[in-house]
Amino acid sequence: MTNQDNPVQRLIEEFKKLPGIGPKSAQRLVFHLIRRPNEDCQKLAEAVSHLKANLVLCSTCNNITEVDPCRICSNSNRDPKVICVVEEPFNILSIEKTGVYNGHYHVLHGAISPIDGIGPDDLKLENLFDRLKEKIVEEVIVATNPTSQGESTALYLSKLIKPLDIKVSRIASGIPVGADLEYTDTVTLSRALSGRQEL
């Protein structure tokens, strides 16, 4: 039951390579699939197999898409005057789920991180500035993570964008909704204080 020829063991090994899936979860997933009709396995296999077949980066915003420009960039109902800059394509999904944002996006595919040897040149910035030069955009919302990498990236961007006479804003950082002051770390709490808003 341990060699790679065994289809059960082979799939367990493949699942174990995925993030957050350890040996026990992998085993549970495999035995779940064994109980399901073969049709379900084939649907999953096909979805995995076709995942990258037609995916490209949107030439406008660098989002992952199967049509270029992506559905967001080509959607005429969205406000072209605002661009929200995010680190990764999946950040777009999170922001879209809130339903409160109707502008465009720009994906950097990373954040400045000198420790990891990632400088501004390693980010996808060029087409952002091409768009800004078209003089349509009035505000850039920097929605990089509130980590040191994300903050450096935000600072770097604001320094470059402000001279173009475009408003640059940063998403708020503070205590998450539902959390407790008692269990909030001091950095977050001081952010929440300095970012206070009038009622």
Q: Is 64 in the site for a second copy (CB under 8 A)?
A: yes
Q: Is 190 in the site for a second copy (CB under 8 A)?
A: no
Check: CB of residue 158 under 8 Å from CB of residue 171.
Answer: no
Q: Binding to a second copy by residue 99, rule CB under 8 A?
A: no
Measured from the CB atom, the residue of 7 and 114 that comes closer to a second copy is 7
Nearer to a second copy, 30 or 128 (CB): 30
Choice from 22, 41, 119, 162 touching a second copy (CB under 8 A): 41
With binding defined as CB under 8 A, does residue 56 bind a second copy?
A: no
Nearest to 115, CA basis, from 85, 152, 89: 152
Stretch near a second copy under the rule CB under 8 A, chosen from 66-74, 115-123, 143-151, 182-190: 66-74
Residues 146-172 as b/e (b if ≥16 CB within 10 A, e otherwise) read: beebbbbbbebbbebbeeeebebebee
In this structure, the strands spanning 103-107 and 79-86 are parallel
In this chain, which stretch among 8-16, 110-118, 122-130, 166-174 interacts with a second copy, using CB under 8 A? 8-16
- Is residue 84 at the binding interface for a second copy, with CB under 8 A as the rule? no
Residues 156 and 152: their CA atoms lie apart, in Å, by: 6
Number of residues engaging a second copy in binding (CB under 8 A):
51
Residue 31 is a binding residue for a second copy (CB under 8 A): yes
Q: Does position 40 bind a second copy by CB under 8 A?
A: yes
Cβ atoms of residues 112 and 118 within 8 Å: yes
Q: Which residues bind a second copy (CB under 8 A)?
A: 1, 5-8, 10-11, 13-15, 17-21, 25, 27-34, 38, 40-55, 64, 66, 71-72, 88-90, 92-93, 96
